[in-house]
Structure 1
Amino acid sequence: MSTPLSPEQIERLARRRAGAKLGWYVHVGVYLLFNGAFFVLSELGVGHRHWSIYPALGWGLGVVLHGIAVFVLGGGSGVRERLIEHERERLRRTGR
């Protein structure tokens, strides 16, 4: 069982989590903007045809991993909270 958070701790945690989510939304926006431009350049024949798929796939993987870190493993997610609780219990039992 964990102790209740103080109002200051709640505020700090809420701001940090909101900032992480906002960071992901900005990341997606920049991804869409740049990859849209890359697609247009690729279709206009700048360089080899259809080269824009490569940065879209690589950067897209980064966006997906960023999203997983924020929404699945980030603070407040069930997975992260269960892992933290598991580690607390292990440390309480073993002392290290």
Structure 2
Amino acid sequence: MEKNYVEGERYYHAQKRVKEIKAFYEHLTVYILVNPIVIVVNIMTSPGYLWFIWCLMGWGMAIVLHGLKVFSLPPFFNEKWEERKIREILEKENSQKTWE
């Protein structure tokens, strides 16, 4: 019974990870497909002011942050951090209940 539970949990985490990676690549694809349109609209409507650069940079930073999260590159706010924080909150709640 325990083995099936562990396998099921591993499968769930793998499935969740694949969905996160897929969402990142969809986000990146939309960025790549939409930004040429934004550039063309900018150049056709107001070539004197290239505002598309702000769109590229802002959305590009969001893509980078999304990628860092999906591929667990930042040392903060990853799954291990979440687990530690959950345990910390539960321990804090348990200690408060003992004082009541």
Regarding TM over 0.5, the answer is yes
Match of 2:18 in 1: 18
Structure 1's unaligned 5+ residue stretches are none
Q: TM-score of the superposition, structure 2-length normalised?
A: 0.65
* Runs (5+) with no aligned partner, structure 2: 96-100
Pair 1:9–1:59, CA change in 2 (3 A): same
**Identity fraction in percent:** 28
The higher relative CO (CA closer than 8 Å, separation ≥ 6) is in: 2
Count how many residue pairs are aligned between Structure 1 and Structure 2. Answer: 91
The Cα offsets for residues 12-53 of structure 1, whole Å up to 9 and x where unpaired, read as: 11110000000000000001111111112223x212442211
SS at 1:72 equivalent:
coil
Structure label with greater radius of gyration: 2
Normalised TM-score (structure 1): 0.68
Query: Relative to 1, partners in 2 of residues 1:23 and 1:83: Cα closer, same or farther, differing over 3 Å?
Result: closer
Runs ≥4 residues deviating over 3 A? 79-85
